């Protein structure tokens, strides 16, 4: 009798170990995914900080260039004012010069018409040598004074033209400087845009990683949440593969001598690719992704002390947190994870312990 009790106790211990081992694999996978997500989050945040620092440097350079461009534009305005002033002065000096020159030539022409310019005429009209000398001296002095005045005007005009050319040269240099600064600003703007795009991409990846981490934390909480009360179901779960008969011979059972660690039931057969998998009962999806050797996996909490797990799916049609009804499609039969062929691996967990699905699935 003691031997029987000890044997039963050993069997229960083995089953418990298998149960805990199965969960520890999933928990380890969840923890690994959580750690990886947190590492990616830290990496993306570091990249964002580095890009942000570099982006601020570019913005500072752009602002500095903008200030220089502003000063250059102000300088251009001042130069244009100077140029306008010099052009006005030059125009005035040119007009004065032309008027003075015209007056001079008019005066000479009048003198010529009056016979006072030509030396011959002066000499012929003179009554004596003194008059000849006086006329000649008068003409020389008059011509020198008018020529000197015109010469002064020419000097002023030439100086104004030199100043104008200098201002125009400075203006062109300033224009060239502004164009160079504008080109530099466009290059900096392009670099900033590259940083903006990179940061947007990293923020998107960061948001995705943070969302994955949040999902993983929810799944970890769901996987480890305490079972409320004992199993209250009627022991009847729907057959999960409606298109495969329940009496098919291609079913591997729960922990056979040849598979002592097998914690569920395998349903497969020839030509089963693409078969629809349905929920054995209604409940909440607490896991819907790839995990450990199960491959693509769906796990449903039936909210009565029972959970079911569906492994190796080719496709998952539900999401974690989703409520499903009995018979609702949850995925497609596949060969993902540690699998040697297309089949469904289904597990039944009651009050935290894996049990033989054959006792509950009808």
Together in a domain, 62 and 208: yes
pLDDT score, position 5: 37
Residue 164 has pLDDT above 80, yes or no: no
Residues 217 and 236 in one domain: no
Parent domain of 255:
231-359
**In the predicted model, what is the mean pLDDT of the chain?**
76
- What distance, in Å, lies between the first and last C-alpha atoms of the chain? 35
**pLDDT at residue 322, as a whole number:** 92
At residue 283, the 3 state secondary structure works out as strand
- The answer on pLDDT for 352 being more than 50 is yes
CATH code at 288? Answer: 2.70.70.10
CB distance 30 to 220 below 8 Å: yes
pLDDT at 120: 44
42 and 165 share one domain: yes
Whole-number pLDDT of residue 267:
87
Q: Assess whether 317 and 276 both reside in one domain.
A: yes
Measured distance CA(145)–CA(22) in Å, rounded: 121
Query: How many separate domains does the chain show?
Result: 2
DSSP 226: P
Question: Does 240 lie in the same domain as 215?
Answer: no
Query: Is residue 295 domain-shared with residue 193, that is, in the same domain?
Result: no
Pair 305, 347: CB distance under 8 Å: no
Q: How many CA atoms lie within 13 A of 63 on its CB side?
A: 6
**Structure confidence at residue 281 as a pLDDT band (50, 70, 90):** very high
Same-domain check for residues 241 and 210:
no
Highest mean pLDDT among 31-45, 67-81, 317-331: 317-331
Per-residue pLDDT at 100 exceeds 80: no
> What CA–CA distances, in Å, run from 98 to 140, 156, 159?
22, 13, 16
Task: Give the pLDDT of residue 146.
Answer: 64
Task: Judge whether residue 12 has pLDDT over 70.
Answer: no
Point out the domain boundary residue: 176, 192, 223: 223
- What's the mean pLDDT in 162-168? 81
Is 342 part of a structural domain of the chain?
Answer: yes
**8 occurs within a structural domain:** no
Rounded mean pLDDT, 81-88: 79
> What is the pLDDT at residue 329?
96
Q: Indicate the pLDDT class of residue 287, thresholds 50, 70 and 90.
A: confident
Domain for residue 11, yes or no? no
The residue among 334 and 215 whose pLDDT is bigger is 334
Q: Would you tell me the crossing angle of helices 129-224 and 2-113 to the nearest 10 degrees?
A: 170
Q: Cβ(277)–Cβ(344) under 8 Å?
A: yes
- Output the pLDDT for position 229: 52
How many Å apart are CA 166 and CA 271, to the nearest integer?
92
Taking alpha carbons only, the member of 287, 269, 271 closest to residue 331 is 287
Q: Are residues 159 and 39 in the same domain?
A: yes
d(CA 165, CA 170): 9
- Which residue bears the tokens 């691996």? 345
In this structure, the answer to whether residues 149 and 279 fall within a common structural domain is: no
Tokens, residue 90: 């030059």
In this structure, is residue 299 part of a structural domain?
yes
Assess whether 235 and 180 both reside in one domain: no
pLDDT at 20 over 80: no
Say which residue, 22 or 264, is predicted with more confidence: 264
pLDDT per residue over 221-240, tens digit each?
766 666 555 665 566 899 99
**pLDDT above 60 for 8:** no
Q: Are 26 and 292 in contact (CB under 8 A)?
A: yes
pLDDT reported for residue 36: 86
If asked whether residues 162 and 219 sit together in one domain, one would say: yes
Percentage of the chain modeled with pLDDT above 90:
15
Q: Residue 279 above 70 pLDDT?
A: yes
Supply the pLDDT for residue 350: 84
What is the reported pLDDT for 141? Answer: 56
Sorted by sequence, the CB contacts under 8 Å of residue 11 that are 6+ apart come out as none
The answer to whether residues 212 and 310 belong to one domain is no
Residue finishing a domain among 182, 197, 223: 223
Query: Is 61 inside any structural domain?
Result: yes
Give the per-residue pLDDT at 136: 53
Q: By the 8 A CB rule, do 286 and 324 touch?
A: no
pLDDT band at 117 (very low <50, low <70, confident <90, very high): very low
For residues 300 and 306, give the distance between their C-alpha atoms in angstroms, rounded to a whole number: 9
Q: For residue 317, count CB atoms less than 10 angstroms from its CB and return exposed for 0-12, middle for 13-18, buried for 19 or more.
A: middle
Between residues 90 and 249, the one the model is more confident about: 90
Structural domain includes residue 109: yes
Instruction: Determine the distance from the C-alpha atom of residue 133 to the mean position of all C-alpha atoms in its chain, rounded to a whole number.
Output: 97
pLDDT of residue 245: 82
In a domain, 23, yes or no: no
Render pLDDT for 144-159 as a digit per residue (tens, 0 to 9): 666 676 677 777 777 7
Place of tokens 């598979």: 259
Residue 6 in any domain: the answer is no
Q: Who has greater pLDDT, 143 or 341?
A: 341
Among 163, 196, 223, residue at a domain's last position:
223
Given a cut of 90, whether residue 129 has pLDDT beyond it is no
CATH code of the domain containing 112: 1.10.287.2610
């Amino acid at each position: 009798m003691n031997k029987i009790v000890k044997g039963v106790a050993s069997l229960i211990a083995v089953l418990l170990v298998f149960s805990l081992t199965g969960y520890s694999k999933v928990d380890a996978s969840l923890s690994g995914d959580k750690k990886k997500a947190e590492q990616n989050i830290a990496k993306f945040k570091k990249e964002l900080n580095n890009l942000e620092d570099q982006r601020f440097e570019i913005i500072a350079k752009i602002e500095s260039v903008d200030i220089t461009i502003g000063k250059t534009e102000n300088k251009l305005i001042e130069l244009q004012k100077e140029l306008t002033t010099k052009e006005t002065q030059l125009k005035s000096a040119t007009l004065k010069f032309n008027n003075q020159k015209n007056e001079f030539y008019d005066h000479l022409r009048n003198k010529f018409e009056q016979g006072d310019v030509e030396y011959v005429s002066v000499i012929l009209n003179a009554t004596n040598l003194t008059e000849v000398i006086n006329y000649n001296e008068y003409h020389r002095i008059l011509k020198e004074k008018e020529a000197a005045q015109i010469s002064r005007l020419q000097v002023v005009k030439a100086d104004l033209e030199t100043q104008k050319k200098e201002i125009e040269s400075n203006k062109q240099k300033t224009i060239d400087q502004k164009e160079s600064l504008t080109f530099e600003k466009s290059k900096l703007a392009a670099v900033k845009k590259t940083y903006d795009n990179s940061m947007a991409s990293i923020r998107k990846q960061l948001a995705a990683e943070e969302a994955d981490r949040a999902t993983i934390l929810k799944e970890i909480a769901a996987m480890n949440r305490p079972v409320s009360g004992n199993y209250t179901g009627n022991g009847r779960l729907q057959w999960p593969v409606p298109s495969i008969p329940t009496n098919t011979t291609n079913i591997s059972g729960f922990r056979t001598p040849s598979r002592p660690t097998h914690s569920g039931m395998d349903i497969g057969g020839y030509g089963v690719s693409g078969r629809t998998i349905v929920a054995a009962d209604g409940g909440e999806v607490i896991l819907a992704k790839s995990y450990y050797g199960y491959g693509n996996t769906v796990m449903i909490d039936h909210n009565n002390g029972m959970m079911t797990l569906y492994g190796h799916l080719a496709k998952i049609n539900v999401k974690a947190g989703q409520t499903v009804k009995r018979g609702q499609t949850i995925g497609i039969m596949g060969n993902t994870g540690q699998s040697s062929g297309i089949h469904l691996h289904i597990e039944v967990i009651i009050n935290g312990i894996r049990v033989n699905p054959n006792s509950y699935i009808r």
